[in-house]
């Protein structure tokens, strides 16, 4: 009887170990995303939609050029793929950047970075379901560890009610950036998803800039003329950018968009969204490092403890073995 019972019991396949080669792109991508929180502070006073539209338009051109050089075919989306890709652009690009730029006006970058670092819990739960599997017990156990370490690194930071709201929106959008890509990564790959999401995001942001942003020209004593709208507003907004803000837009376009998107989706396709989600714990570490390079204080004991906790959480969630729930 015991032999018969064991032969009919469902077997649980062990979760394979993850190659460092598959993880490295995601680590680098999340480090770039973390640095963007600090860089985005220089865009607080800039026309948000116009500057971000230029960022993503430039990134789309860069990605298309690189794809041609690399000989990577870019497939035309079809059917429901348009909805998934538009969802990535609308949440992971448009709303996420609105949340970051508006959020750092109400809260320290730490608050926004910690919200992004909480993504592993959402990805660990929802990601495997979208991929046709079940959440990994090991990933679910590791996700809160990574989040706790990220909170130690960045702290809670100073914020107000609006800052908390923007941080929550950033969390939801960062999760959507990965989860909405799962159904289309199989056919389009990292290159296709990145290119289509970026140009769609650029179109959305350009539309918002044309129809919603109303820059006003004039002096501190008062406007010289009434607010302009439409294409004139878009051009006026770009003309108001300072050299430092253009530099921030260039950094975000090349490294945080074109490069980071490719690296991140490559890791998601290789190891799955649940495991890849743990790597978002790298973002607050990078944000802290970028803050120090920008003249911030040296790390204290809590930062080093948080770093150790993040590493422990990553090691727990990324190693192989029987890890199914």
**H or E stretch including 223?**
strand 222-223
- Report residue 147 CA to chain centroid gap: 16
Residue 215 has a pLDDT of: 58
**CA 40, 45, 46 angle in degrees (round to 5)?**
75
Instruction: Look up residue 40 and give its DSSP letter.
Output: G
pLDDT tens-digit series, residues 94-121: 998 788 778 877 766 666 666 666 676 6
| Stronger pLDDT, 19 or 74, i.e. the higher one | 74
CA 62 to chain centre: 19
Quick one: three-class SS letters along 240-299? CCCHHHHHHHHHHHHHHHHHHHHHHHHHHHHHCHHHHHHHHHHHHHHHHHHHHHCCCCCC
Confidence of residue 199 (pLDDT cuts 50, 70, 90): very high
Q: Which of 14-18, 71-75, 124-128, 264-268 has the highest mean pLDDT?
A: 71-75
Is the predicted pLDDT of residue 228 greater than 90, yes or no? no
What are 320's two structure tokens?
A: 């192989």
Residue 321 bridge partners (DSSP): 15
Q: Under a CB-based contact definition with an 8 Å cutoff, are residues 256 and 97 in contact?
A: no
d(CA 139, CA 177): 19
**Averaged pLDDT score across all residues of the chain:** 76
Mean pLDDT calculated for residue range 15-21: 66
Specify the 3-state DSSP secondary structure of 76.
coil
Query: What is the pTM (predicted TM-score) of this model?
Result: 0.71
Distance CA 195, CA 63 (A): 6
């Amino acid at each position: 009887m015991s032999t018969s019972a064991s032969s009919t019991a469902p077997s649980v396949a062990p979760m394979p170990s993850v190659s460092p080669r598959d993880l490295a792109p995601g680590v680098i991508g999340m480090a770039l995303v973390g640095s963007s929180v600090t860089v985005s502070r220089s865009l607080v006073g800039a026309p948000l939609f116009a500057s971000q539209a230029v960022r993503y338009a430039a990134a789309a051109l860069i990605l298309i050029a690189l794809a041609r050089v690399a000989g990577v075919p870019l497939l035309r989306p079809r059917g429901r793929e348009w909805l998934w890709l538009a969802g990535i652009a609308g949440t992971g690009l448009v709303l996420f950047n609105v949340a970051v730029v508006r959020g750092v006006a109400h809260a320290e970058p730490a608050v926004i970075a910690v919200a992004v670092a909480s993504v592993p819990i959402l990805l660990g739960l929802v990601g495997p379901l979208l991929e046709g599997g079940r959440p990994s017990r090991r990933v679910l156990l590791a996700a809160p560890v990574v989040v706790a370490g990220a909170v130690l690194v960045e702290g809670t930071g100073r914020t107000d009610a609006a800052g908390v709201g923007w941080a929550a929106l950033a969390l939801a959008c960062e999760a959507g950036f990965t989860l909405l890509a799962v159904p289309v990564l199989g056919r389009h790959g990292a290159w296709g998803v990145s290119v289509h999401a970026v140009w769609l995001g650029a179109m959305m942001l350009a539309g918002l800039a044309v129809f919603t942003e109303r820059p006003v020209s004039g002096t501190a004593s008062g406007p010289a003329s009434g607010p302009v709208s439409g294409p004139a507003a878009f051009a006026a907004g770009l003309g108001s950018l300072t050299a430092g803000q253009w530099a921030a837009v260039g950094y975000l376009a090349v490294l945080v968009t074109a490069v980071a998107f490719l690296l991140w989706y490559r890791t998601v396709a290789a190891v799955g969204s649940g495991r890849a989600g743990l790597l978002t714990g790298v973002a607050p570490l990078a944000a802290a490092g970028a803050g120090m390079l920008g003249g911030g204080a040296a790390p204290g004991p809590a930062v080093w403890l948080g770093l150790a906790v993040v590493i422990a959480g990553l090691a727990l969630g990324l190693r192989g073995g029987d890890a199914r729930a």
